[in-house]
Structures are given as C-alpha cells and as structure tokens.
Structure 1
C-alpha cells in the first residue's frame, strides 16, 4: 500500500461507535455482539510493532456491538445509517449519522457499546491501530445498563 493510500485510509477512519436498543444480562457477563454483526478486513499492514487494519463493520437494525474496549485507538467513518454510542456510565457519548467521523480511545477505562437504533444497517469503515497481535476488541461485562 502506498504512503498516499495509507494517508487516505487514516483520514477516512474514525471509530467504532455504539448504542443499545436491547436490555443486557447480568453485569458479571460479557455481552456478545448481536446477530448478524459482521466485520470484513479490507486491508492490513504492520509497522514498528503496530498493526493497522481497515475493516468494514455492518451492524443490522436493532443490533449492537456488545460491551467491549480496544487495546489501541480506532478511527471510523459512518458509511450508512446512524450509530449510537454509550459509555460505561450508561450515558450517550455520541450519535453518529451518515458521514460522521468517530474516534475511540484505547484501554479498559473506555468500555463502550455501539447500537443501531435505526431501520437500516449501520456500515462503518474503521481503522484499528493496535499493538501487534492484539484482538480487534476485548469483551467487557455490561456495567449495569439497560436501554429502552
């Protein structure tokens, strides 16, 4: 991938956001992503111990990413739909409509969930900037939130 392409990918990227229309189970259990949530790798490369992965994430209507955090930063762009994002205090920390850029910071202090409250699938283009070998996301328990 050329430097120009990498720069373009970096400019396009900006988060994996979230929200919820579902009530979740006991806080002691990690919450899986909803049925039909799909991530497709578009491009990957590693430089200086950092993995850069561009993925397209699709979240069907009424589904969520499940509670999670990341070991590195994420940068995303909303290609379709509107993503609702909630933090571990159960507060909405972002509503991202079509064309929005989003960013998610790293670490277990940044547990969040992304939810599609709309009627069309949410499609995100997401650049993961992770320590080499890290998973795309780390599962986290529901902090006790229930969304209506």
Structure 2
C-alpha cells in the first residue's frame, strides 16, 4: 500500500513544482493542400499550397527543417517570437524560414493570401509544430 501512495505523492509533487507549458495558439482561416511529396534518404520534401483568408493567421509554430516559400497572391506579414516583423512579403516575393525558429504568419490584407511552400524536413517530421504564444498581443 505504501508504494502506490508514494508514486501518487511523487507525481503530485512533480506537477506542482515543474513549470507548466503555455498553450499553443491554433491558426484561423488557414487551409493547405499537398501538391507533391517525396522522401529521399533521410529528408522529406513536401510541396504545399497554403491559403490564409483575410484576417487569418497560422498560429505560433516552428518547423524542424527549412521552408522555401513563394507568395502567389496577397501579402504575408511574418512575425518572430520576439514580436518583431521580420518580413512583409507581397505577391511575387520568395522567402525562407529557418529550422526551429518560432514565428506566426498573418494575412492583414483584404484578399486571400496564397503561398506555395516547399518543406524540407527530416524524414517523418510533422509539417509544423505548435509553439506557445509569446504574448505579442495579436
């Protein structure tokens, strides 16, 4: 009887002492369609069209590898976790996203934003991973 009580007590103590993880921020107004996928060696290549409706956003997230993106229509406002804007990318512009860099993409315009994105990720990685809201207020 002492062992189960000790385990429960230890679990409760850990829950009270360890810091809690902030909640991830879900996106809004975002859809994506995979156009092509290929794994070569230990790398997944995924070509995806991402559409963000006016006022929409991706939610705070990061990627395990590099992304190469092209703005097919609209304008993307791209913020980093320190709340700075590291780019405003209009139709015809290309940009990259570095691995493990927490960011959010927002469509502050009045027309849909359409991106063509090539994800270059370690094999088996998700396309993106949620990150907690850093408290930027948007």
Please report the TM-score for the alignment, with normalisation by the length of structure 2: 0.83
Deviations 1:28-83 (A, max 9, x none): 2100110x311100001010110000000000000100000000000000000000
| Aligned-pair Cα RMSD in Å | 1.0
Where does residue 123 of structure 1 map in the other structure? 114
Where does residue 18 of structure 1 map in the other structure? none
Task: Kindly indicate whether residue 33 of structure 2 is the aligned counterpart of residue 40 of structure 1.
Answer: yes
For 1:55-94, list aligned pairs within 5 A. 55-94=48-87
SS in structure 1 at match of 2:27: coil
CA distance in 2, matches of 1:86, 1:79: 19
CA distance in 1, matches of 2:91, 2:76: 9
CA distance in 1, matches of 2:22, 2:56: 21
Shift of 1:120: 0.4
Max radius of gyration: which structure?
A: 2
Greater per-residue strand proportion: 2
Shift of 1:144: 1.1
Q: Which runs of 5+ in 1 are unaligned?
A: 1-26
For 1:1-148, list aligned pairs within 5 A. 28-34=22-28, 36-107=29-100, 110-147=101-138
